[in-house]
A and B are shown apart, each in its own frame.
Chain A
Amino acid sequence: MKQDSSVPRVEIRINECKGCHLCIAACPKKVLEPSGCFNNQGYNYAKYKGEGCIGCGICFYSCPEPGAITVYKKEN
């Protein structure tokens, strides 16, 4: 999928997420939510609502898993 690099976004790798939801609590724009689905390990992984991410990276630094979250900031 070709992404529009001028729009910040967040990507959560389903099977690297442990469902702690710290990212959801931390996000200032409240654009993350529990998916309501379970990943391979049985966790209710977090998901991006699809819009509203400002690329601040706050969720990245709240998440304990090294690779679960990728944040694409706005390219300048």
Chain B
Amino acid sequence: MSTNPNILCKSKAFYDEFTRKGVDDVITTHYCPGCGHGILHKMIAESIMDLGVQDKTILISPVGCSVFAYYYFDTGNVQVAHGRAPAVATGVKRSRPGSIVISYQGDGDLAAIGTAEIIHAANRGESMTVFFVNNAIYGMTGGQMAPTTTIGQKTATTPYGRKVENEGYPIKMSELISNLDAPVFVERVSLADVPNRNKTRAVVKKALQNQVEGKGFSFVEVLSACPSGLKMSPVQTNEWVKATLHNIFPIKNFRDNTATAQSSFKKDASSNKEEVLKALNLLDQTTDYKPSVDKSKFADQNVRLAGFGGQGILSAGSTLSVLAMYEGLETTWIPSYGPEMRGGTSNCHVRVSNKRIGSPLVETPNVLIAMNGPSLEKFESIVKKDGVIIVNSSIIDKKVSRKDVKVYYVPLTQISTDLGVPAAQSVAGLAAYLAATKVIPVEKLEYVVHKSLKRKELADKNISIIRKVAEHVGGQ
């Protein structure tokens, strides 16, 4: 609202201008006359301002009529794929635990395509606030049946009325959600008349307040009018909501554990470093390891290792991550491969940083270790300017055509085969990369390989391969 308590006007949580419709109309929303979304938006905006959380609110807008909520709310915004808002909200909240995350969804979005996401976010008790607009129809796409459509209700896809035998019963999400243990607050409200709107305002604020206090998962189902979908006037639609929806979806609080709920931020729930090292059996091994990088000066390493299945690509990638862990750095590793065990292509993404890593994906690597021809062809162009490409010259005849990257040609397969361990060729690729860039001393790789291989003889062979490769790179 305005800063003057005596004036009720457009909330400061809304943008001054709504650019959705271009320059012709920057003052109205795209919602139909009488749509409940607009009414709820205003209540959410009011609570955001009342609670003083505008600068830390992140609104996740769904697919459905509210898909454009980000054109209206002057907050952080993410617009997500159909049904996925609670999953994205989970990621946003966990990576930014201090933010206030709102997952805003319609009934097609939440109760049909996104059923799995909402149930599991609720079941994990994610610290977020969900506003679920139940208007008993798919509004945006033209009035098809939603899971919440009532028995007998005519829609574009139930022209004779919804029949239990054919389409089942209306799904009651608040009842479902409140059957789970984790949610702290579950309430169904309505926008259909003045007393219910007053109640809704209070509940919207409470559900946000819960999150401000770190209380956990709050779920508010809002019975709402979609005059276009129902093909009635706005006033009639609200009468219908009262006469029909209120009976099927009772308006009530299903749970309020906020008085006793503990703060439930999922702070670093999965990234306690010691626990990770312990789980990987690395904890006691790290004791005699002396990290050698200056963490404060460490430049982010975004590496793609690529080749064919059987070259040891994925395990070499994870070796790099393990090495990073020994050094006390942050790291991620994700494999990307086809269904074939061997004979397919395979590559992995490895990130190493001195800061927490947001996404494990490496879309623009600064390092490419290309173990075969197709890998070089596929990934050469995505390497960052001034990046490094290690080319396995035993297999790849082609030269790198780019002039803005540093290239090392090393006969990795040859060296590994000559020294008796062809399977070590990708580790050899790692050795080449470390020897070329010196981001972590290549001797440290020897240490990790030595620790991870149980058979001493095999470890020794690997180490001689690493040394030979390092020598080769040193000479380039």
| Interface residues in chain A, defined as those with a beta carbon under 8 Å from any beta carbon in chain B | 13, 15-16, 18-22, 25-26, 28, 40-41, 43, 57-58, 60-76
Contact = CB atoms under 8 A, between A and B. Distances in A.
A61 B9 contact: no
Interface string B39-50: 101110100000
Nearest to B239: A25
A61 to B, nearest CB: 5
Given A25-B235, A41-B28, A66 B72 contact: yes
A66 B7 contact: no
B2 to A, nearest CB: 8
Given A18-B28, A21-B235, A26-B194, A66 B42 contact: yes
A57 B46 CA distance: 13
Interface in B228-279: 233-235, 238
A60 B45 CA distance: 13
Given A16-B27, A26-B194, A43-B33, A66 B45 contact: yes
B45 to A, nearest CB: 7
Given A66-B41, A67-B27, A18 B8 contact: no
Given A18-B28, A22-B238, A26-B194, A64 B6 contact: no
B11 A66 contact: yes
B33 A66 contact: no
Chain B interface size band reads 35 or more
The 8 lowest CB-CB distance pairs between A and B, nearest first, are: A64-B38, A20-B34, A67-B10, A20-B33, A18-B33, A20-B234, A71-B8, A70-B9
Contacts, number: 95
Contacts of B10: 66-67, 70
Contact of A71 (B7, B197, B227): B7
Nearest to A19: B33
A40 B43 CA distance: 27
B84 interface: no
Q: Specify which of B10, B14, B39, B197 lies most central, judged by the most chain A CB atoms within 10 Å of its CB.
A: B10
B234 A67 contact: no
A40 B24 CA distance: 11
B471 interface: no
B237 to A, nearest CB: 10
Contacts of A65: 28-29, 38
Interface in B26-65: 27-29, 31-39, 41-43, 45
A46 B137 CA distance: 28
A61 B27 CA distance: 18
A69 B227 CA distance: 20
